[in-house]
């Protein structure tokens, strides 16, 4: 149940179309469902505005299918499954209609929504090797109702590539800057943009990049204001935060 459905119930009580007892029964439905191996949180959308997402890594196909079926049974229209291997996706697809995106390792159950955010989310990468993390971010953002613009391979090794997209950068509501190696892209973008920038360090790079630690420390020490940082390779977390920013209209609306 989402906020709009809850508001509809409250308005029906106000108008006299529903008794308080019937409303209580509907609202007090157990907020989570015990499946033994998982407890899907059916009230996540009501509390946070975004339904629960399934983290696929470490789960069996049977577990993912069971959790998905429980969510669908409670009326969830779109299910996002992150870090899903191709093999597991194939097995899940035998029981539930699933669209699989191999680069992002994301499975999507249901139809993608129309964008309803304030503006555009720009997703920029330092290099082509950062695309798996970028596609995880892009598909997550789109699944959460955002218009996404992809700017791939615009790293600081060829700064003119990024500067050629200055119009997109200045038009963004939020920018996700994804880079490995030394991770300088977030600082450069932060020095150009007039919107929040979310840095995502990736584990791409040679030995002394320490599987993304070098990029993480660079982004954390950015001299550009307005740059925040999520964990290494966490495209999902960056997109979730970007979507929250892109939907922050007046809290009274």
Q: Are strands 99-101 and 106-109 parallel, antiparallel or unpaired?
A: antiparallel
Residues 6+ away with beta carbon under 8 Å from 176: 121, 122, 123, 124, 134, 137, 141, 197, 198, 200, 235, 238, 239, 242
Residue finishing a domain among 81, 109, 137: 109
Note whether 157 and 239 are same-domain residues: yes
Residue 197 lies in a domain: yes
Note whether 168 and 96 are same-domain residues: no
| Closest C-alpha to 204, from 220, 182, 222, 224 | 182
What gap in Å lies between CA 122 and CA 177, rounded to an integer? Answer: 8
Note whether 155 and 222 are same-domain residues: yes
What gap in Å lies between CA 230 and CA 168, rounded to an integer? Answer: 23
Mean pLDDT of 142-151: 96
Residue finishing a domain among 90, 109, 128: 109
Residue 253 lies in a domain: no
Residue 5 lies in a domain: no
Note whether 219 and 127 are same-domain residues: yes
Quote the domain boundaries for residue 60. 31-109
Tell me the helix, strand and coil percentages in the chain, rounded to 5: 40, 15, 40
In the chain, how many domains are there? 2
Q: What percent of the chain has pLDDT over 90?
A: 68
Residue 137 lies in a domain: yes
What gap in Å lies between CA 78 and CA 39, rounded to an integer? Answer: 18
Residue 18 lies in a domain: no
Note whether 128 and 170 are same-domain residues: yes
CB 199 within 8 A of CB 219: yes
Q: Dump pLDDT digits (tens) for 169-193.
A: 999 999 999 999 999 999 999 999 9
Note whether 171 and 236 are same-domain residues: yes
Note whether 63 and 180 are same-domain residues: no
Q: Dump pLDDT digits (tens) for 206-228.
A: 999 999 999 999 999 999 999 99
C-beta atoms surrounding 27 within 10 Å: 15
DSSP 3-state of 228: strand
Q: Dump pLDDT digits (tens) for 65-81.
A: 988 988 888 778 899 99
Q: Tell me, what's the pLDDT at 39?
A: 65
Q: Dump pLDDT digits (tens) for 22-63.
A: 766 666 555 655 667 676 666 666 666 777 888 999 999 999
pTM of the model: 0.84
Q: What is the CATH number of the domain that holds 148?
A: 3.40.50.1970
How far is CA 33 from its chain centroid? Answer: 23
Average pLDDT, rounded, for the chain: 88
Which of the four pLDDT bands, split at 50, 70 and 90, describes residue 253? very low
Note whether 140 and 209 are same-domain residues: yes
Note whether 35 and 105 are same-domain residues: yes
Note whether 67 and 158 are same-domain residues: no
Note whether 101 and 134 are same-domain residues: no
Note whether 53 and 170 are same-domain residues: no
Residue 8 lies in a domain: no
Sign of CA dihedral 191, 197, 198, 200: negative
| Closest C-alpha to 197, from 182, 184, 181 | 184
């Amino acid at each position: 149940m989402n906020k709009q459905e809850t508001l509809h119930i409250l308005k029906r009580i106000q108008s006299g179309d529903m008794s308080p007892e019937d409303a209580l029964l509907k609202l007090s439905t157990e907020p989570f469902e015990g499946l033994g191996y998982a407890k899907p949180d059916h009230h996540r959308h009501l509390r946070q505005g975004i339904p629960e997402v399934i983290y696929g890594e470490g789960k069996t196909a049977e577990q993912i299918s069971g959790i998905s079926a429980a969510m669908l049974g409670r009326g969830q229209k779109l299910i996002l499954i992150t870090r899903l291997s191709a093999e597991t996706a194939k097995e899940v697809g035998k029981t539930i209609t699933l669209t699989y995106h191999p680069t992002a390792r994301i499975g999507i159950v249901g139809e993608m929504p129309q964008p309803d955010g304030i503006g555009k989310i720009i997703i920029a990468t330092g290099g082509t090797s950062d695309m798996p993390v970028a596609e995880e971010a892009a598909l997550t953002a789109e699944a959460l109702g955002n218009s996404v613009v992809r700017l791939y391979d615009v790293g600081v090794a060829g700064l003119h590539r990024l500067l050629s997209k200055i119009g997109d950068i200045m038009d963004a509501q939020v920018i996700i800057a994804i880079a490995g190696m030394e991770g300088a892209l977030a600082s450069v973008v932060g020095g150009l943009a007039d919107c929040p920038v979310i840095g995502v360090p990736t584990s791409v790079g040679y030995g002394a990049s320490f599987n993304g630690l070098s990029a993480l420390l660079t982004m954390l020490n950015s001299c550009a204001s307005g740059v925040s940082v999520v964990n290494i390779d966490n495209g999902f977390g960056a997109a979730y935060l970007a979507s929250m920013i892109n939907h922050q209209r007046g809290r009274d609306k």
